Amino acid sequence: MGVRRYVSVTALGPPQQSKIRVAAGRRTGSNSARSFISRREEAATSAQPDGVSRAKRRRGVGDLVKGGTPVVGLTAYTAPIANLLDPHVDFLLVGDSVGMVVYGFGSTLPVTVDMMIAHGAAVMRSSSRALVVVDMPFGSYQESREQAFRTAARILAETGCAAVKLEGGAEMADTVRFLTERGIPVMGHVGLMPQSVNAAGGFKVQGRDRQQAERVSADAAAIAGAGAFSLVIEGTIEPVARAITEAVPVPTIGIGASPMCDGQILVIDDVLGLFTQFKPRFVRRHAELAPLIAAAVETYAEDVRARHFPGPEHCFGMK
């Protein structure tokens, strides 16, 4: 979820001081994951030629820090887009939202591991600076800890990405701990969880009543305590997302959450104005490319039909 689209998102209320308290999560399993991460990053740094700056090397999970300059994330699914985004972001998420954005599915549920690996490998090949995280799709990790490990290990091995992301709260904490203890960096995802859209009854903003707020807060504490290196908070009311950010020891990445999260992420098609059927409340479009593309294609079609293209300069002749 990667991050997903919503048919409608209820307006979030104004930022308020939250009274929701988040229990401190246990850090069991985090030491082994962090030591593994440190070894990987140390090896990557030592392998760099002399004089290569930190800014030019591939970012690792340790570069997503809490309380510093906000972390910038975007989704990427293809090589050309990854190449364009790479110099400007801290991390690229190959989200299972690819199923909706690229394949036209109505949800993320039909996405397969093979699809995620294909797109993850493309993004890795076409980027050199950003941390790359790949979503674990629905049904590829929920059955057991062992299934989750096999899926995550395959994704890391076949794409070269640095980490995987999975959705789930307290019920997935044991799985997150199992993965991090075995050297697999995990980005968590709480709040609105699109892979659970059927059970949740749709894409609904989370935390609007005290029971929901306490559940999301407990989920965040559990996943952070299990060793996740960061945490996506999606579709959650601002006071709850803010309180979670203040309480957990790992960076939080917001999407429809709070400006006080440690970073933000959006679907790239929403940022560029390529998706025009609707615009989620939490999206700010930084371009409107859809009409530009439509106009360019219209001009191309007119040129072909009028035999204005191709011209002599586009044709090959004899030597």
Q: What are 99's two structure tokens?
A: 């199923």
Chain centroid to CA 174: 22
Tell me the C-alpha distance between 281 and 180, whole Å: 34
Between CA 120 and CA 123 the distance in angstroms is 5
Q: Residue count of the chain, please give it.
A: 319
Q: Tell me the H-state helices in the chain.
A: 30-46, 79-85, 98-101, 113-125, 145-159, 173-181, 197-200, 210-225, 238-247, 268-271, 289-305
Residue 270 in tokens:
């929403």
Q: Which two tokens stand for residue 277?
A: 């059927």
Six-digit token string for 260? 């006080």
Of 41, 167, 234, 238, which residue is the catalytic one? 234
Question: Distance between CA atoms of 246 and 236, rounded to whole angstroms?
Answer: 15
**For this structure, is 143 an active site residue?**
no
Catalytic residues: 234
